[in-house]
Amino acid sequence: MIMSGGWRVGVDVGGTFTDVFAVNRARRDTRVAKVPSRSDDRVAGLLAALRAVDLAWPDVDDLIHGTTLVTNAIVEDDLAEVALVSTRGFSDTLAIGRQNRRHLYRLDLPPKAAPQVPAERRFEVRERIDHEGQVLEPMDPRTVDEALRRIEESGAAAVAVSLLHSYANPAHEEALGGRLRERFPFVALSSRVSPEAREYERTATTALSAGLMPLAASYLDRIEAARPADSRLHLFHSAGGMASPEALRELPLGLAASGPAAGVAAAGRIARDLDVEHAISFDMGGTTTDVCLIFGGEAQISSDRTLGGRPLRQPMVAVESIGAGGGSIARLDHGALVVGPESAGADPGPACYARGGSRPTVSDANLVLGYMAPDRIIGGDIRVDPAAARTAVAPLASAMGMSVEAAALGVIRVANSTMLRALRRVTVERGVDGRQCTLLAFGGAGPMHAVDLARAFSIAKVVVPAHSSVFSALGCVSAWMSYAQQRTLRMAVDEWDAQRLERAREDLRSRLAAPLAVAGCGEGEMAVEEVAAIRYRGQSYAIEIPDAALDDPARLTRDFLDRHRALYGFATGEPWELVSIRLRVSAPPTSGELRPAPVESAGSPSAGTPSSPVESGGSLPARTLPCTFEAGATAATPRYDRAALVPGRALAGPAIVEDAWSTVVVPPGATLVPDEAGHLHIATGTGT
């Protein structure tokens, strides 16, 4: 059903800019914009983003929103005070943690982060359930009453409950949760947040979730109050889909890294459309760079992550985030050039934005080198200042004894080397040959660095997708509704219990499908994806088998052995066990699946395919300006309007391609060919 407004809008709030992508299918109208983020008032920033595309919220039928709210709160340790309730004898789980040190060779630094919940707010109840879910000791009501009294006295704003082996039988946690909710508004149960083994990670994840509940509820209350009654609101979550505010009130950790996950979701769709089997998404914004491995059009999912030095045990898009973006500050540290993770952010921003920033950043270096146009306007009202950029980089250049251009080139090289390490982590460290991947570059700064980064990694091809500067907002607007969760089973292959497995699958399916049904999705519209985590008996960690044949143990054995060989080069006939299963239930939005129209290109019809050679008679440059490239030489470089490129007509580097919000750098030796959909295919001139 299409309501009166007819607009579907995606809004991604980043650390520096807020991107908005609006589509009206009935009018065949697409609008995009980029505005400075409002960290002081996020709801006002959201409304400003709508105004930037000439819309008011009553015009919007569906608004899908990505936010850094939860990520920032975790990284900055801005969490509510939490009380933890655990099984008697296990209240120190958070304090004990794991044996690994945060800084292996720095004995002067703390070996691990302080426990999120201090000893005075950790409480115990008498009860015991074993790893198979059998009740060994019923819950003692007197210890429950005592814990409730002490929690009230502690002044905690939220309560986390993590009882031993509650993933196998949540009955005690559910009963205790019912008692707690009579007195406390924010209660997180580990059997709902992370129903898995690994006591420390499950407890830490539940405590984080509880600490975020007041913040998330306050934000969702404000945004719901501003929402018109006939407009639907969803938020993008970290597993790669959108969820309702109601679902995220109970599970706010789903909002961690929601913006990067939206970009990865859009990258997966582009990879499917272009039939790219192996891809790496490369999202470089103003504050961070996020990379993720994509296989067969699907982003890799991980259940073991860390954020702000704390473990997260829940399904999340496997994004590797680093503190390197356009606003990352460059400095000398004991004579060595360092870039990031400190950022100029949105306020004051890089020096070249002329809003009070004075320290050199990656954006300043890009402007000094000529990649960004000297008369550029960003975000609708930010005009770049080349003189301010040179003034910011000059002290750095003087300290290093080189020209301003050479110092700027050094800043770019150091930033690229940092991002190169992130590429290695998502490929080489996972047994993947990154040289065989295509780099999908987006974000405000990604296309400026993509070719140099790809060359350093021996990647032969870069694709800059249409709408690349607002790609995470595009990921929001084209998202499906989905919910995912993982559950521990620990089922040995020689003790296979098909009935127990089916009960667990059905319980997960019904729990994950419930919010979709509330949103109006019929059972026939829902897609179910299952992943099995399997290991040899006695191993600590499991490997994941996608599209797992859970009804066929023999086939599951073959798939596990094949995957083990692919990852480690060998497989044995030893017995294995199914450690856990992960389900994702998804459905297209009730307003229908949306595929935004491609960017229109001016000029004649296509004269070739994206792999065609350089042709004469192609697009004409808007102007020619000097740029300094990797070799250090300055070259007269033609600059092209992206909307005026002719599909199939190739551009040989050096060249610059610009749209309203981003810049694509094609250095010497590279070749760019646009396609009919507005995607830019760049042959880097290197790779295998």
**pLDDT tens digits along 336-366:** 899 888 888 767 888 888 888 889 999 999 9
Residue 184 has a CB neighbour count (10 Å cut-off) of: 18
Structure tokens belonging to residue 80: 């509510």
What span, in angstroms and rounded, lies between the C-alpha atoms of 638 and 624?
Answer: 4
Residue 147 has a CB neighbour count (10 Å cut-off) of: 22
What is the reported pLDDT for 127? 97
State the amino acid at position 143 in one-letter form.
T
- SS3 category, 619: coil
CATH class of 483-587: alpha beta
Residue 26 has pLDDT above 50, yes or no: yes
CB 57 within 8 A of CB 227: yes
Say which range, 442-456, 490-504, 595-609, has the weakest mean pLDDT: 595-609
What span, in angstroms and rounded, lies between the C-alpha atoms of 681 and 666?
Answer: 11
What is the reported pLDDT for 598? 47
What is the reported pLDDT for 688? 52
Residues above pLDDT 90, as percent of the chain: 46
What is the reported pLDDT for 566? 82
Residue 570 has pLDDT above 50, yes or no: yes
- Helical (H) or strand (E) element with 673: strand 671-674
Q: Residue 381's pLDDT band (boundaries 50, 70, 90)? A: low
CB 288 within 8 A of CB 327: no
What span, in angstroms and rounded, lies between the C-alpha atoms of 326 and 675?
Answer: 28
Say which range, 4-13, 96-105, 552-561, 590-599, has the weakest mean pLDDT: 590-599
Mean pLDDT for the chain?
86
- Between the ranges 79-93, 277-291, 631-645, where is the mean pLDDT highest? 79-93
What span, in angstroms and rounded, lies between the C-alpha atoms of 210 and 195?
Answer: 15
Length of the chain: 688
Of all residues in the chain, what percent are helix, strand and coil, respectively (each to 5)?
35, 30, 40
Q: Region 69-93: what's the mean pLDDT?
A: 89
Q: Between these two residues, 214 and 30, which has the higher pLDDT value?
A: 214
What span, in angstroms and rounded, lies between the C-alpha atoms of 535 and 577?
Answer: 6
**Fold for domain 258-324+415-477?**
Nucleotidyltransferase; domain 5 (3.30.420)
Say which range, 45-49, 84-88, 103-107, 222-226, has the weakest mean pLDDT: 103-107
Residue 589 has pLDDT above 80, yes or no: no
- Between the ranges 181-185, 346-350, 372-376, where is the mean pLDDT highest? 181-185
Q: Residue 600's pLDDT band (boundaries 50, 70, 90)? A: very low
What is the reported pLDDT for 602? 31
Q: Cite the beta strand spans of 238-309 per DSSP E.
A: 241-243, 278-284, 289-295, 298-299, 301-307
Say if strands 481-492 and 527-536 run parallel, antiparallel, or are unpaired. unpaired
Q: Residue 601's pLDDT band (boundaries 50, 70, 90)? A: very low
- SS3 category, 375: coil
Give start-end residues of each CATH 3.30.420.40 domain in the chain: 7-73+218-255, 258-324+415-477
What span, in angstroms and rounded, lies between the C-alpha atoms of 227 and 17?
Answer: 22
CATH architecture of 7-73+218-255: 2-Layer Sandwich (3.30)
Residue at token pair 């521990």:
488
Residue 408 has pLDDT above 50, yes or no: yes
Q: Residue 378's pLDDT band (boundaries 50, 70, 90)? A: low
Q: Using alpha carbons, select from 238, 235, 266 the residue that is nearest to residue 469.
A: 266
- Helical (H) or strand (E) element with 517: helix 498-518
**pLDDT tens digits along 128-182:** 999 889 999 999 999 999 999 999 999 999 999 999 999 999 999 999 999 999 9
Structure tokens belonging to residue 299: 């982003």
Torsion of CA 68, 98, 317, 255, to 10 degrees: -30
What span, in angstroms and rounded, lies between the C-alpha atoms of 202 and 190?
Answer: 6
Q: What is the DSSP string of 148-204?
A: HHHHHHHT-SEEEEE-TTTTT--HHHHHHHHHHHTT-S-EEEHHHH--SS-HHHHHH
Give start-end residues of each CATH 3.30.1490 domain in the chain: 483-587
Residue 412 has pLDDT above 90, yes or no: yes
Q: Region 190-206: what's the mean pLDDT?
A: 92
What is the reported pLDDT for 427? 85
What's the burial of 335, exposed, middle or buried (CB within 10 Å: 0-12/13-18/19+)?
A: exposed
Say which range, 217-226, 408-417, 520-529, has the weakest mean pLDDT: 520-529
Q: What is the DSSP string of 111-149?
A: SSPPPSS-GGGEEEE--EE-TTS-EEE---HHHHHHHHH
pTM for the complete prediction? 0.81
What span, in angstroms and rounded, lies between the C-alpha atoms of 561 and 573?
Answer: 9
Q: Residue 458 CA to chain centroid, in angstroms?
A: 25
Q: Using alpha carbons, select from 492, 507, 340, 491 the residue that is nearest to residue 414.
A: 340
State the amino acid at position 110 in one-letter form.
P
Q: CA distances (Å), 131 to each of 117, 166, 170, in order? A: 25, 8, 12
**Ramachandran assignment for 468, one of left (phi > 0), alpha (psi -120 to 50 degrees), beta (any other):** alpha
Q: Residue 114's pLDDT band (boundaries 50, 70, 90)? A: confident
What's the burial of 557, exposed, middle or buried (CB within 10 Å: 0-12/13-18/19+)?
A: middle
Residue 632 has a CB neighbour count (10 Å cut-off) of: 10
**pLDDT tens digits along 47-56:** 889 998 999 9
Q: Region 644-663: what's the mean pLDDT?
A: 90
**pLDDT tens digits along 308-338:** 778 888 888 888 887 788 888 999 988 889 9
Among positive and negative, which fits the CA dihedral 620, 622, 623, 626? negative
- SS3 category, 475: helix
Q: Residue 576 CA to chain centroid, in angstroms?
A: 32
- Helical (H) or strand (E) element with 357: none
- Looking at residue 253, the DSSP 8-state letter turns out to be G
**pLDDT tens digits along 606-641:** 333 333 333 333 567 788 999 999 766 788 999 999
